[in-house]
Amino acid sequence: MNLPNKLTVLRIILIPVFVALFFVEFPYHCFVATGVFIIASITDFLDGYIARKNNLVTDLGKFLDPIADKMLVACALFAVVLFENTFQIGVVICAMVIMCRELMISGFRIIASAKNIVLAADKLGKIKTVLQMSALVLLLPITDIYKCFPAEDAYSFNQQIIADVVLYIGLILLALSTVMAVISGFNYIMKNKHVFKD
């Protein structure tokens, strides 16, 4: 097993670690879980970069890498939707749209793979990924952020503005990533519609 595949396996191993840290309560557990999520996300970038640079692309990597990505994002989205706030329904809708898009693209790639057609990632998809990961990094630790800036008195209320700003930026990025998920998904299929030709 080469280095990129080892990094992919490491990402898969980190997923249950991330989930456990997120749900097992201890001081600042959401911050710690977010740290693990960031490390796992970095391995996503590294494995692809190393594989392409050193010509280490393998069938195992093609199989494991997208699965690891979907697993990581799905778990993070499920964690985020549990945070109770005014926009919780909107967050749930965004999570549903993103996961439906990922399932659609995964099915599309299965058809392409069966026809030995290699589909490269496009810029719109990469923009979607950056927005999505940025949103999750801000929203995953939001519970701990609010604990750091409680609204128990007038002075603390002023401090809580920081937590509110982080929340709103995270929500905006999540909404943008959802829009980009839809746009990039349809663009990806239309650009590669030859996959459907018999």
What would the pLDDT profile of 168-181 be if each residue is shown by its tens digit? 999 999 999 999 99
Residue 126 has pLDDT above 60, yes or no: yes
Is 91 among the domain residues?
Answer: no
For 132, the token pair is: 């999505």
Per the CB < 8 A criterion, the answer to whether 124 and 101 are in contact is no
Side chain identity, residue 194: H
Contacts of 76 (CB under 8 A, 6+ apart): 18, 37, 136, 140
Cα 86 to Cα 94: distance, rounded to the nearest angstrom: 14
127: in domain: yes
Mean pLDDT of the chain: 89
pLDDT in tens, 17-32: 999 999 999 999 999 9
Residue 86, domain member (yes or no): no
Which residues form the domain of 34?
Answer: 1-80
What CA–CA distance (Å, rounded) separates 69 from 110? 16
Number of structural domains (the chain) is: 2
90 falls within a domain: no
Is the domain of 109 the same as that of 182? yes
**Has residue 87 been placed in a domain?**
no
* Token pair of 71 as six digits: 């697993």
In a domain, 105, yes or no: yes
